[in-house]
Amino acid sequence: METPPLCEYRYHDGFEVTEQMLNDFKEQGYIIIRNLLDQEELQKVIKTVDGSDAITKHAYNHGIDEKGRKFDRVLWSHPGHDVTGMVARSEKVAGTCEKLLGGEVYHYHSKLMMKPAKNGGTKPWHQDYGYWYFNGCLYPDMMTVFIPIDPCKKENGCLQILVGSHKCGRVEHKPDGREINADMKRVNDIKKICPLIYVEMDPGDAVLFHSNILHASDGNMSDTRRWAFLCVYNRATNNPTIEHHHPRYTPLYKVPNSAIKECTNYTDMTGKDIMSPKSLDNTISNINFVLAKTTSLTLKIHIISSKQIVLRNLIPSRDKSRQNGYQDKATADSFRLV
């Protein structure tokens, strides 16, 4: 099967989502935007995620592959007022997603994915909607913006995508030893018609992909770690039907792109509602294990676990803090995970 050319574009002053970009996202399931963050913006993000432990102290192990390799992550519900929050609320990120999805979006969550050098784990084939389906999201009107903090190359486990696989619909996800992943029989059939590409990117680039696109990543045995900052969005019209560990519809108050450079908050994570195994009684980190042991009750257990998270870990939050004049009004009536 011939490998198709990448659906790639370059960010520039006056950047607009074109008809070709819309068509690529619709038909291929992704687009790459080179230099989405310029060097100054990128360095501010790096200072935020790697200049202190304000975010990384909340890291937990997200998975261990069959060779004992791992990768960690930090997950948060709301953008907050720090530099990463300005990125998530910016026109170049959130605004672009609104155009690609065809309507208002809200911040579903963000995360820092940390695949270490030498011992970075694999992530088998899966669809994000393969999981979010169980959170009461009735439509796959959801997407991810994946922004590398480090170079993402084949050698250190860059993202792999099956081009156009989002058109195959939601694939059943089954226990795969240590976690829940897409049914490999189905994936192997899809591989016969949807070409595989390696999404190699430099720091500050971004790949924006549909929630039903099949994607994976290999392990990292190189000398270079692979960190990435991901922002996830859901259509406002796709409000989840159940309470769960990610937010239901919460208005997203976007900021101009200039807010990223104007922001000087690198350490105050107020309003982000960062999740951690300790605060969630390990429910999040153990959910894949529980589901893997109880295949026939996957849906039931997931819903029960989500309700337990809500009942035991949510308290009202009335955070009115501001940063550089930009108030995230979404936190005013939100809930805080503790």
The Cα–Cα gap between 276 and 331 comes to 19
Query: Domain 8-337 belongs to what architecture?
Result: Sandwich (2.60)
Three-state SS sequence of the chain: CCCCCCCEEECCCCCCCCHHHHHHHHHHCEEEEECCCCHHHHHHHHHHHHCCCCCHHHCEEEEECCCCCEEEEEEECCCCCCHHHHHHHEHHHHHHHHHHHCCCEEEEEEEEEEECCCCECCEEEECCHHHHHHHCCCCCCEEEEEEECCCECHHHCCEEEECCHHHHCCCCEEECCCCEEECHHHHHHHHCCCCEEEECECCCCEEEEECCCCEEECCECCCCCEEEEEEEEEEHHHCCCCCCCCCCCCCCCCECCHHHHHCCCCCCCCCCCEECCCCCCCHHHHHHHHHHHCHHHHHHHHHHHHHHHHHHHEEECCCCCCECCECCHHHCCCEEEC
- Between CA 199 and CA 131 the distance in angstroms is 22
Q: Which two tokens stand for residue 143?
A: 């997407």
Return the pLDDT at 1: 82
Domain ranges of the chain: 8-337
> Is the four-CA dihedral 229, 338, 294, 242 of positive or negative sign?
negative
Structural tokens at position 139: 């439509």
Comparing CA positions, the residue from 319, 265, 251 lying closest to residue 104 is 251
Mean pLDDT, the chain cut into blocks of 10 residues (338 residues total): 93 97 98 98 98 96 76 95 98 98 98 94 94 97 98 97 98 84 97 98 98 96 96 98 96 98 98 77 41 42 37 32 39 28
